[in-house]
Chains A and B, each alone.
Chain A
């Protein structure tokens, strides 16, 4: 393991100890540091704490917020809540999957520029259908408008 990763994990580990050993918080820290939960990090943590790795994976796979695979540079979050559903969010999603050439079951583009995710409701239902790109909220979207918005991320990817 690289030393920079090790330093980061040690910091998270001391945090974990001060935190009463909260597994969710540890995973949230790991993810905010690395962008996802690297398998190595889990085994390292498991060795260090004596808690079985299965316990970490059990928690990580239970919650939809945790990712076990690296994600794209830009995260597109498509709202699939009720309000967005009845306002046609699935048509936007179909279009984006097509536009980004994502095969069934895939969510990250080959070049790693975009990841398309679905979420149950972002709480902006009155401007449905809603899409997020890197936390920026786009309301009252249509397939065309969304495709246009994405172009700006292709040209100048977020820092």
Chain B
């Protein structure tokens, strides 16, 4: 057997949920049993790696023998003995468990920068990051460039903020650098509030040092000595890895006093969010770090002038920061050569919903939407019909099939009434009701509205009321116009980005799916059969085998029938929970 064996086990949140810990332990045990651990001549190492994006196939395991790598999917602890025996000792891969062509299609069409090392290196070991040229970006900045030159380099790269608004990063830094102050701050926004997005979590879990290095570069450029990472408390694993990475960075002299023998001092603190979407907004986030209610304030002054504790502050998103080490190392020109005319570089998207290959992907800006959905995503689950892609989360909109060829970048998404947001991409199929989706987002923004300004506090509530009555079959003929009217007013008059963008899901679904609203209002019908109040459940007699599953599942006692004879649903008792529909193995319950 070979002396050079490397095993990587995917241990992001997805990997751990699928049993990554157990798989790691099983490898340790089996290797020890086989006596490999003790034999110093034979080098066989098991590594924990972060998320490589394809969590749906977890636990993913790479076995590399003499640098020939085989990737296995859906691995469970009880499969490990066979892997060790046949592949590691015997030298023959277990073909049955090797990933298929779809795994390669998923990866091959991507262009990885920020995610390049995620899933390849051990995030809890700084040496692994140093081995892939980690911290060379900040060292280059410190030893060869002035702060102004760093800012020029970032400006020339064309990097725009990945947190949603897409503001040019170099320009933001320049404003902040120009403001004289005894203290300045760099904040990493890891609040990732968009439900349905997990890019930032994966980057911190998979490669925390890249974020730390990015923050150091920003701090050097603007002249800050202190930094904060504001991170969601819902991400315990990311927080733990971040803390580990910070102490390793300190121990290696990448944080602290007189970094790399220069006069540059910088250190980072971690602040846990306390669960409020609005705290992703920069002025609210600052209030939250200061220990207050996270309410946004009017801008200007922008944080670059008056930020944390009233001092000039740069706030950047996790992904924005993770791009910086690469830009410094490989140069602005290299970065600007990626992407579209107006949007440079790559973008990480969380591809989820009704798509075959759900996961985290990184693609060049400007890639046609179609390639994302069909080539990388493998198309719609169960060969159902594609309906729309929702991007930008609660601030974004839906892109219908007629725009499937759209090149995806900041400008084009805005043009079709959606936005980039933080990069959530939820795919919807024919079974999704667009009125329900728009109501879902309004429920979210309404409950997350901080209440400071009236248009957002009252306006989102009124929008939600109208949407709710439409989905309950109580919509009025004038409701669509009313929604449009209110939506535009809320957009124009809200204080912060939350209110200004909250009506977007309503506007974009009315723009492209007005007929669905009309069906709910005029015909009291939900075309996708989602809105419960508008559904009736019935049993198709000739398909029903009388197995009694539905009868037992029904919480309302609405189903009657003798064994082996067709059952019957009493619609006056039915609470429309759908339990019968879910349990029927013979597809004899229909909802319409």
Interfacial residues, chain A to chain B (CB-CB below 8 A)? 21-28, 58-59, 62-66, 80-83, 85-87, 91, 94-95, 98, 119-128, 130, 135-139, 143
Contacts and interface: CB of A to CB of B under 8 A. Distances in A.
A85 B13 contact: no
Q: How large is the interface on B (under 10, 10 to 19, 20 to 34, 35 or more residues)?
A: 35 or more
A82 B17 contact: no
A94 B359 CA distance: 27
Given A22-B291, A24-B291, A86-B426, A127 B14 contact: yes
B489 interface: no
B274 A24 contact: yes
A98 B554 CA distance: 11
Given A119-B234, A123-B201, 13 more contacts: A27-B274, A64-B275, A65-B274, A81-B196, A83-B195, A83-B358, A123-B234, A125-B196, A125-B352, A126-B55, A130-B17, A137-B16, A139-B18
B292 A59 contact: yes
Given A123-B234, A126-B352, A82 B440 contact: yes
Contacts of A136: 17
B243 to A, nearest CB: 15
Contacts of A121: 194-198, 234
B465 interface: no
A22 B193 CA distance: 23
Interface string B338-381: 00000000000011111000111000000000000000000000
Contacts of B274: 24, 27-28, 63-66
A122 B234 contact: yes
Nearest to A140: B56
B282 interface: no
Given A58-B293, A125-B350, A91 B426 contact: no
B265 interface: no
A8 to B, nearest CB: 20
A23 to B, nearest CB: 4
Given A86-B353, A91-B578, A128-B352, A123 B13 contact: yes
Q: A27, A65, A122, A123: which has the most chain B beta carbons within 10 Å?
A: A123
B432 interface: yes
Contacts of B86: none
B475 interface: no
B72 to A, nearest CB: 18
A24 B288 contact: yes
B427 to A, nearest CB: 8
Nearest to A128: B352
A137 B18 CA distance: 8
A42 to B, nearest CB: 15
Contacts of B54: 126
A86 B193 CA distance: 18
Nearest to B53: A126
Nearest 4 A-B pairs (CB), nearest first?
A81-B195, A82-B196, A63-B274, A137-B17
A103 B290 CA distance: 38
A120 to B, nearest CB: 4
Contacts of A85: 195, 440
A50 B31 CA distance: 61
Contact of B198 (A28, A86, A123): A123
Nearest to A98: B555
Contacts of A95: 579
Contacts of B390: 82
B361 to A, nearest CB: 10
B453 to A, nearest CB: 15
A123 B192 contact: yes
Interface in B435-450: 437, 440-441, 444, 448, 450
B235 interface: yes
A35 B380 CA distance: 43
B90 interface: no
Interface string B1-21: 000000000000110111000
